[in-house]
Structure 1
Amino acid sequence: MNPLLLDIPLQIETERLILRAPHQSGDGMIVNKAIKNSINELKEWLPFAQRVPAVEETEMNLREAHMKFLKRDSFRFLIFHKNTNDFIGTASLQGIDWDIPKCEIGYWMNTTYTGKGYMTEAVKELINLGLNHIKFKRMEIRCESTNVKSRSIPEKLQFTLEGTLRNDDLSADGCNLTDTCIYSIVS
């Protein structure tokens, strides 16, 4: 089947969260504010967060993500609290290989909302979407070996740690070699 013909929901709900594709004007301002508030934590792990981007840059990034969603190249979701509409973070199905088919899950959080299980809840729903709706045969989470918070999510969700690639990547600031843990779940 051609992936362009797949019906992928633009919005998904969990018990506490709404995950929706970034398609509304003004999403950039909301996401940019979270990056700004969380920059000290994010910059340790994410190359894009080495500086606070301009709101316009974030808005452009989200519009590009929406185009990739429509083209079925990747599926980024903005995560909001269902009751308060507070922005919690993003989670994505990315690095898609439709020939297998497989993908990688990526995520980051607004620091204000860490430690409450929100990202685990969001990723669990993306696993359901990926394995049961899209029919991926493999889903991966890759993260730096020292990123304990990020590693806890696949571990809670019963992914298999397939291995650690030594000296596999550069740190977010580009200054040091880092090890990458690869977790997977298969159908």
Structure 2
Amino acid sequence: MFKYVINDDLELKLLENCYIEEQFALIQRNRLYLKQWLPWVDGIKTFEDVAKFIKITKEQFVNNDGFQCGIWYKGRMAGIIGYHNIDWSNKSTSIGYWIGEEFQKKGIMIRTCKVLVDYAIKELGLNRVEIRCAEENFKSRHIPEKLGFKNEGTLRESEWLYDHYVSHVVYGILKDEWMHMYSR
């Protein structure tokens, strides 16, 4: 099993079937909270639905098209983060993430996003990383803004969210920008 330790409290683990119950429980506890911004929540009704998602993420990893990780905080699953896909021709990817409400305001998502951007640029050799956030989801938008991403514009009414459209703000960062800010 792959895991990446960020610090004593925080680590990332590739999604595996042994985490189905924990992931399902996290979604159940946060169902109303997550539905504010994520269109897939109503589609997760059983352990089997989570198992299907994990199967898709394993195929994504095997196909060298990115990966999805569970975010573990003090031994508890706190959320999910990963690459939507990797465009190898253009050397770019986008990051998606969500976190349970009880894990907010601990700096978890900033630290995990930083790790994924670092990995995309320094290890995978990508040139561009993108994050899209619902325009009114200010908590999510704070993450790319804090990490130095540029606001590249708004995609108007780009996602159907249960009963209405939401617009997405597109944030991007280029390899040179990232290396200038975070070179070691």
Same topology, TM > 0.5: yes
**Structure 2 letter corresponding to 1:121:** R
1:144 Cα deviation after fit: 0.8
Q: Give yes or no for contact 1:74–1:92 (8 Å, CA) kept in 2.
A: yes
> How far off its partner does 1:132 sit?
0.5
Of the three residues 144, 149, 174, the one matched with 1:186 is 174
* Structure 2 residue corresponding to 1:148, chosen from 138, 148, 152: 138
Matches within 5 A, 1:1-187: 10-15=2-7, 16-23=9-16, 25-50=17-42, 52-81=44-73, 84-170=74-160, 172-173=161-162, 175-187=163-175
RMSD in angstroms over aligned alpha carbons?
1.5
Question: Aligned pairs, how many?
Answer: 174
Structure 1 CA distance, aligned partners of 2:127 and 2:136?
28
Gaps of 5+ in 2: 176-184
Q: Secondary structure at the match of 1:146?
A: coil
- Give the superposition deviation at 1:51: 5.5
Change (3 A) 1:100 1:129: same
**Native 8 Å contact 2:44 2:50 kept in 1:** no
Gaps of 5+ in 1: 1-8
> Moved runs in structure 1, 4+ residues, more than 4 A?
none
Higher relative contact order (CA 8 A, sep 6+): 1
Give the fraction of aligned pairs with identical amino acids, expressed as a percent. Answer: 28
Asked whether the 8 Å contact 1:168–1:177 carries over to 2, the reply is: yes
Q: Is the 8 A contact 2:71 2:80 kept in 1?
A: yes
Matches of 1:34 and 1:108, distance apart in 2: 11
Whether the aligned pair in 2 keeps the contact of 1:39 and 1:51 (CA below 8 Å) is no
Distance 1:68 1:94 in 2: 9
How far residue 11 of structure 1 moved from its aligned partner, in angstroms, is: 2.1
- Give me the TM-score of the superposition, normalised by structure 2: 0.89
